[in-house]
Amino acid sequence: MTRHTGLKTCYVLAALLALNACGFHLRGSGAEGLGQNLYLDGIAPNDPFVADLSDALTVAGGKRAGSALQSAGVLRIYRAVHSRRSLVLSRFGRSTEFDLTFRVVFDVRSPKGEVILSRQEIEVKRDYFNDQTIPLAQTAEEGVMRAEMQKEAAEALLRRAAFAIKNSTAPKS
């Protein structure tokens, strides 16, 4: 290793230490430290959104509970739906631009069934252009966008649930 490379390494380490010391956190890490068990209800266990919720919960330090009584809260999913709407038509009458939407309707309850956070909706939207000359690539791109939208909705849902559960268990003054 040359002296120049060693100096670069030192500068990078110093910058990382400075960022860590000032309380810098990457975006999207708001639910980290949840450290709670949540019970998922109202959605099929094999739904792809359940896998995204479980992954986000694990990253946040929590786990899926086996029953409502073993959890800090119950996350009830009423609906998790993708939709696709045409925005622009080409001169040949084919759709070339689409609006993708993923909606999740949910509420958060205590293990005893009391409503902590009333029914809410999270909506994630993306627009994309479909070239029509490479349809297989466009289909793959849409699939990736849908998966990213589900992950974003799962993270937002967990942040809201964690905040609601934390505030419901906080001592009232």
Residue 98: the pLDDT is: 81
CA 99-108-106 angle, 5° bins = 25
Residue 140: the pLDDT is: 81
Give the CA dihedral 8, 12, 14, 20, nearest 10 degrees: 180
Higher pLDDT residue, 162 or 94?
Answer: 162
- The answer on pLDDT for 129 being more than 60 is yes
- As a whole number of angstroms, the distance between CA 116 and CA 42 comes to 17
Q: Where are the domains of the chain?
A: 30-169
CATH fold label, 30-169: Double Stranded RNA Binding Domain (3.30.160)
Higher pLDDT residue, 95 or 151?
Answer: 151
Query: pTM to 2 decimals?
Result: 0.72
When pLDDT is averaged across residues 138-167 and rounded to a whole number, the result is 91
The first and second tokens of residue 98, run together, are 């689409």
- As a whole number of angstroms, the distance between CA 65 and CA 44 comes to 15
Higher pLDDT residue, 170 or 22?
Answer: 170
Output the CA–CA distances (angstroms, integers) from residue 43 to 46, 56, 79, in the order listed.
8, 16, 8
CB 158 within 8 A of CB 164: no
The first and second tokens of residue 36, run together, are 């709670």
Over residues 69-116, the pLDDT tens digits come to 999 999 999 999 999 887 666 677 667 778 899 999 999 999 999 999
Higher pLDDT residue, 34 or 39?
Answer: 39
Residue 64: the pLDDT is: 92
